[in-house]
Structure 1
């Protein structure tokens, strides 16, 4: 047994009051823990729903990335074909400029001659 020397001796009613107070404190503590556990349970359910939604979103994202990966080689092919078309158009434009250049020079020369004739004749 514990040595009780130097401690005041409690009477029966004091002990009952002390035990009743301890029981009330324990009851309040149990209610607080119960409230916290209920709140934690709701939070975990919300987190579970969020995780499920995140999983679905990540699956859709992964599917999209896979489709992009499948599309990339075809896009390279399209770009290569477009570069070929642009090269041909550039050659056609260059050829057209080559054909038009002498005509433009001839036109410019003829206009110069006509302008000089007009001025010489006093018409312009």
Structure 2
């Protein structure tokens, strides 16, 4: 069996086809690199704006942190004040309770005087000692 050598005409055509594909791929790659460069150039100002916005956001968050710290301190003061007011209210309730007890005692003590006064008026009225008008 004899081995036929490869056809040189076919090989040359294959090589040309391969070179055309490589050249086309190189042109496509060059065009893609150009597009990427354009895209990156357009992204530059966008990234600068984003950097500025991020800086502003950082400043805002720092201010917000300070505000939250002040708010926390204020709420702690309010809690302390509420506790103190609860103590004052308890004391006022105790004083009110004592005053009510004193009023009840005074009313009880004055009842006999009121009865004597009423009886005295009734007697004076029947005797006609005090005239009206």
* Both proteins in one fold, TM over 0.5: yes
Please list every run of 5 or more consecutive structure 2 residues that lacks an aligned counterpart in the other structure: 1-24
Deviation digits for residues 68-95 of structure 1, max 9, x if unmatched? Answer: 2244334312311221102222331222
Q: Select which of 27, 37, 48 maps to 2:48.
A: 27
Normalising by structure 1, what TM-score?
Answer: 0.67
Residue equivalent to 2:114:
93
Q: Select which of 65, 73, 97 maps to 1:76.
A: 97
The structure that has the greater radius of gyration is 2
Give the length in aligned residue pairs: 106
Normalising by structure 2, what TM-score?
Answer: 0.63
Query: Offset at 1:27?
Result: 1.9
RMSD of equivalent CA atoms: 3.0
SS in 2 for 1:10: helix
Q: Which has the higher contact order (CA 8 A, sep 6+)?
A: 1
Counterpart check, 1:105 vs 2:126: yes
Residue equivalent to 2:68:
47
Deviation digits for residues 23-63 of structure 1, max 9, x if unmatched? Answer: 32122112112212211221221121122012112202211
